[in-house]
Amino acid sequence: MFDDATRRAIAAYAARHKFEEAALLAVVEVESGGRLYATVAGRQEPLIRWEGHYFDDRLTGEQRAKARALGLAHPSAGRVGNPASQAKRWSQLYLPASRINARAAYESVSWGIGQVMGAHWAWLGYASPAAMLKVLRSGVAGQIEVMVRYIEKAGLVGSLQRLDFAAFARGYNGPAYAKYGYHTKMKRAYERWAGKRASSAASGMLRMGSTGAKVRELQALLVRAGHAVNVDGDFGPATQRALMAFQMTNKLTVDGVAGPETFAALSAYKVAPEEKPGEQGPLQTDEALQGGGGIVGGAGVETASRAIEEAADKTSWVPGLEWLTAILSLIAALLVIGGLCWIAYGWWKSKKTVEAPA
């Protein structure tokens, strides 16, 4: 899959950051799909994906109007499609867009094997968009450099060192990582490259990708300790940053993993030892508050049930429609029962903790 030059570059960056070579190989394989560059006008170029909503957001006035007219920009994500051919993406999207606004065009592209947005150039430490582009176009080693810089800045070095692919994928690929199976793809790729099973040193502890009751408790205690974080039960990048800040302040190992030592330090912020901060009541879960999108549960059930009962009351006065009245009353009752069951399910689920998805 990878030539010798690519393997040497991956080995060099893995050694520099104390990753297993197989771990970085697995990430490169999954993120690139095994394809490292495209031939465009006789030159090997990084793979690109155009994001028209990024471009639209970076333009104003005549430039935005022109970009929209040419089908290069749209305020909504995904509305500007990407041709299957990389050559067409370069010629139909990036190059015409760069003539409208070169900097905005550069920042609106997802670049190379790491699929890193050009908008991150300053955050990654490059002097200019052109400086990052020069590195990306220098070869596969340049693409790996940009990818590894992103891994560093996103606080994912420890996750990869620990072979914690769920935590890594949560930080690298976002909240939907489990839906698309990024963590399992990386784990399988690692095991193929390494010739052994992946075993994470973070097993049994909370880290990026963890969800549920214990995560809400962790977040609530971090808030009490003075760190800004949403108590939502989703251990994402913001929770990791707050946790690492707490660990640094309290002279703990700064790894972004909530183990026994971290929870022992956080216990000082409990009102009582048996308290469970962040615990949700039956009517505080998403299922109760949102009502399953208004279909079942919560306010959706209450509104629908009331409307059906009113309809039943009206039809009860019409001779010959007694059967319809009975059916409508039954539907209203079933909606209430279904809503209560949905709320109960949400409360039961809120008591669970998923350390890392399977």
pLDDT score, position 192 = 96
pLDDT score, position 294 = 44
Angle CA 138–139–141, to nearest 5: 110
pLDDT score, position 75 = 96
pLDDT(176) > 70 = yes
pLDDT > 90: what percent of the chain?
Answer: 65
The CATH code for residues 211-269 is 1.10.101.10
Task: Kindly tell me the sign of the dihedral angle through the C-alpha atoms of 246, 252, 256, 257.
Answer: negative
Q: Give the pLDDT band (50/70/90) at residue 230.
A: very high
pLDDT score, position 337 = 65
Residue 287 vs residues 178, 283, 296, 343, 355: alpha-carbon distances, Å:
21, 8, 9, 6, 21
Q: Per residue, what are the HEC states of the chain?
A: CCCHHHHHHHHHHHHHCCCCHHHHHHHHHHHHCCCCCEEECCEEECCEEECHHHHHHCCCHHHHHHHHHCCCCCCCCCCCCCCCCHHHHHHHHHHHHHHHCHHHHHHCEEECCCCEEHHHCCCCCCCCHHHHHHHHCCCHHHHHHHHHHHHHHCCCHHHHHCCCHHHHHHHHHCCCCCCCCHHHHHHHHHHHHHCCCCCCCCCCCECCCCEEHHHHHHHHHHHHCCCCCCCCCECCHHHHHHHHHHHHHCCCCCCCCECHHHHHHHHHHCCCCCCCCCCCCCCCCHHHHHHHHHCCCHHHHHHHHHHHHHHHHHHCCCCCCHHHHHHHHHHHHHHHHHHHHHHHHHHHHHCCEECCCC
Q: Give the pLDDT band (50/70/90) at residue 319.
A: low
Give the tens place of pLDDT for each residue, 117-151: 999 999 999 999 999 999 999 999 999 999 999 99
pLDDT score, position 296 = 46
pLDDT(287) > 70 = no
Residue written as token pair 């003539």: 99
- Domain residue extents for the chain: 4-194, 211-269, 286-350
pLDDT > 70: what percent of the chain?
Answer: 79
- Which amino acid, 179? K
Cα separation, 135 vs 106, whole angstroms? 13
pLDDT score, position 302 = 53
Cα separation, 48 vs 89, whole angstroms? 7
pLDDT score, position 277 = 81
Question: 128-160 burial, b for 16+ CB within 10 Å, e for fewer?
Answer: ebeebbebbbebbebbbbbbbbbbeebbbbbbb
- Across the chain, what does the average pLDDT equal? 85
Task: Kindly tell me the sign of the dihedral angle through the C-alpha atoms of 121, 173, 10, 105.
Answer: negative
Q: Give the pLDDT band (50/70/90) at residue 305.
A: low
What is the arithmetic mean of pLDDT over 262-271?
A: 92
Find out whether 117 and 57 touch, Cβ atoms under 8 Å.
no
pTM beyond cutoff 0.75: yes
What is the arithmetic mean of pLDDT over 184-191?
A: 96
Give the tens place of pLDDT for each residue, 71-84: 999 999 999 999 99
Give the tens place of pLDDT for each residue, 12-43: 999 999 999 999 999 999 999 989 999 998 99
Nearest to 26 by CA among 191, 272, 153: 191
